Amino acid sequence: MPGKFLFSAAVAAIVAAFAFAPLPAHARGDVVTVRETFAPGTIIVKTGERRLYLMIGAGAAIRYPVGVGRAGMQWSGTSHIAAKYVSPAWEPPPDIRRENPKLPLLIPGGSPHNPMGVAAMTLAGTDYAIHGTNQPGLIGHFVSHGCIRMFNEDVTDLFGRVAVGTRVVVQ
């Protein structure tokens, strides 16, 4: 009887370990119907909605929640992805350094203090990027100095779907 009990306890422990183990992170993007007629592959950021849309064609897009610029720090216009970086280092721009002069000149990629998260895509002709975050609780809010912040899982998903040169429209 003790052997049967130990076997049952071992099976129960294994089942419990899998039942309570955290699931792997998954992107939060939802496929949605849209009325816009942008070309497939275009990124649309709707600042007021705090959503980013990757057009996939035929009136459909993948929608992601994002953090956007605070009041007075928002922008709109058209750009394109100039470069893509995995685990980017971050050099605080002058306006952010004025707000917080104690920031280091450079925060290395992978640091828990680096606000760029796991990946970044810089936007041509701007000082902004679409990037991950080290503060996921701020997604869905007006929080940045103009950058578009995404959950790290989402920016990883988007990063794999777009190329340098991808058109970005911020509304």
pTM to 2 decimal places: 0.81
Residue 117 phi/psi, 5-degree rounding, is 70, -150
What span, in angstroms and rounded, lies between the C-alpha atoms of 102 and 68?
24
Along the 171 residues of the chain, how does pLDDT read in single tens digits?
A: 555 544 444 444 333 333 333 333 456 789 999 998 899 999 999 999 999 999 999 899 999 999 999 998 999 999 999 999 999 999 998 888 999 999 999 999 999 999 999 999 999 999 999 999 999 999 999 999 999 999 999 999 999 999 999 999 999
Q: State the chain's maximal CA–CA distance in angstroms.
A: 74
Where do the structural domains in the chain lie, given as residue ranges?
29-170
101 three-class SS: coil
Distance CA 35, CA 61 (A): 10
Beta-carbon contacts of 88 under 8 Å, excluding residues fewer than 6 positions away, are 109, 114, 116, 119, 120, 131
Look at residue 17 in the predicted model and tell me its pLDDT. Answer: 37
Active site residue 141: no
State yes or no: is 131 an active-site residue.
Answer: yes
Residue matched to tokens 């929608």: 63
Residue 11, both tokens: 């099976």
Q: In this predicted structure, what is the pLDDT of residue 11?
A: 40
Q: Which of 80, 113, 131, 141 is catalytic?
A: 131
Q: Which residue in 26, 113, 141, 147 is the catalytic one?
A: 147
Q: Which tokens belong to 167?
A: 């058109």
**Domain 29-170 -> CATH class:** mainly beta
